[in-house]
């Protein structure tokens, strides 16, 4: 089973947690797992962490794919999405980086696996460029995304997929020269396809337009964005911490989000213990510190909400009829206090 990630030093720990969660939920009798890490230069410290994780699982192989940044230097990044880097484009050259392979599962690093990913990998995609999961917020026209699909040239019947999980048919993509088409659409042809007003998600919209004719749509359980997965009927197999907030920076107190954070924290602690050999006591201390921090943030949010409510009540009093009518009496009372 081939799986690919893309990371720099800032994202290595998140990537390691994703890999660790895959291995913990994997049925080893089904597949050996080969992980390809697309990168443009990782530090020795990051490489050592990756090596230690590989040594922890007998059926895991980790390989590095060095990507030349210059290949993507002319491709624009949106100013409105500062958390997205040039590495968002790397996944689309996997057919060239893995010329002898016919299939790979690409995953974003901000994932937590909660089921056997072999079930996903076994999906038949022989007549598709890739299999992917709809982007719920775009598909439902949620909030500001109302009308987004039609604005970027997609029909109502087209499915707008999220690019965080892509089961890729490398052979078919190579045969149809789709890598070059994607890079052209993401570069010179970008503003012919997408207006600046709707130019979000860097690669994602371009991928939807480039590969739309042959995308196999999969169930939401394989890419459950933690902001909202109440629409998913089955238990999520892959949790996706998509957006600007990543696992340890969420302040959302929604029970669903809190539950996902607890799962992630438990996995993070176990993964770091495996890599660094940290004892159980230290792990529990880390967990307590993380939960204490979460509690402090929650308390601060509650205090802020309370202050807002008090402020609103004061504003209501100041604007009321009785407050205006009694103004002369308050002035007289103030004058008498000063005299005495």
Domain ranges in the chain? 2-246
Report pLDDT for 317: 56
Give the residues of the chain that fall short of pLDDT 50. Answer: 82, 280-281
User: Domain 2-246 class?
Assistant: alpha beta
Report pLDDT for 297: 67
Q: How many of the other CB atoms lie within 10 Å of CB of 84?
A: 18
pLDDT in tens, 272-290: 888 877 554 455 555 655 6
Report pLDDT for 113: 95
Beta bridge partners of 63: 36
CB 99 within 8 A of CB 4: no
Percent with pLDDT over 70 in the chain:
76
Report pLDDT for 269: 85
SS3 annotation, the chain: CEEEEECCHHHHHHHHHHHHHHHHCCCCCCCCEEEEEEECCCCHHHHHHHHHHHHCCCCEEEEEEECCHHHHCCCCCCCCCCCCCHHHHHHHHHHHHCCCCCEEEEECCCEEECCCCHHHHCCCCCCCCEEEEECHHHHCCCHHHCCHHHHCCCCCCCCCEEEEEEEEEHHHHHHCCHHHHHHHHHCCCHHHHCCHHHCCCCHHHHHHHHHHHHEEECCHHHCEECCCCCCCCCCCCEEECCCCCCCCCCCCCCHHHHHHHHHHHHHHHHHHHHHHCCCHHHHHHHHHHHHHHHHHHHHHHHHHHHHHHHHHHHHHHHCCHHHHHCHHHHHHHHHHHHHC
CB 292 within 8 A of CB 45: no
Report pLDDT for 21: 96
């Amino acid at each position: 089973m081939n799986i690919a990630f893309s990371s720099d030093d800032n994202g290595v720990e998140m990537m390691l947690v994703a890999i660790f969660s895959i291995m913990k939920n994997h049925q080893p009798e089904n597949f050996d797992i080969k992980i390809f890490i697309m990168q443009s230069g990782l530090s020795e410290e990051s490489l050592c962490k990756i090596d230690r994780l590989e040594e922890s699982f007998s059926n895991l192989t980790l390989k590095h794919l060095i990507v030349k940044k210059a290949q993507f230097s002319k491709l624009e990044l949106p100013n409105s999405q500062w958390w997205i880097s040039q590495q968002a484009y790397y996944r689309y050259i996997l057919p060239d980086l893995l010329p002898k392979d016919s299939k790979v599962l690409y995953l974003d690093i901000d994932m937590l696996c909660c089921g056997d990913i072999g079930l996903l990998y076994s999906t038949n995609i022989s007549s598709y460029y890739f299999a992917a999961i709809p982007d719920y917020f775009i598909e439902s026209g949620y909030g500001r995304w109302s009308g987004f699909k039609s604005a970027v040239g997609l029909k109502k019947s087209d499915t707008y997929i999220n690019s965080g999980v892509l089961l890729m048919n490398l052979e078919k993509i190579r045969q149809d020269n789709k890598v070059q088409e994607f890079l052209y659409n993401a570069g010179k042809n970008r503003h012919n396809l997408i207006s600046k007003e709707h130019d979000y998600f860097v690669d994602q919209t371009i991928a939807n337009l480039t590969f739309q004719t042959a995308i196999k749509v999969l169930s939401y359980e394989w890419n459950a964005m933690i902001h909202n997965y109440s629409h998913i009927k089955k238990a999520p197999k892959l949790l996706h911490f998509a957006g600007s907030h990543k696992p340890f920076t969420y302040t959302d107190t929604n029970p669903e989000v809190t539950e996902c954070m607890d799962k992630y924290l438990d996995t993070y602690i176990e993964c770091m213990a495996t890599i660094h050999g940290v004892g159980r006591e230290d792990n529990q201390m880390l967990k307590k510190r993380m939960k204490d921090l979460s509690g402090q943030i929650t308390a601060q949010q509650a205090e802020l909400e309370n202050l807002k409510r008090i402020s609103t009540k004061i504003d209501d009093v100041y604007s009321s009829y009785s407050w205006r009518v009694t103004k002369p009496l308050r002035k007289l009372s103030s004058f008498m206090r000063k005299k005495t």
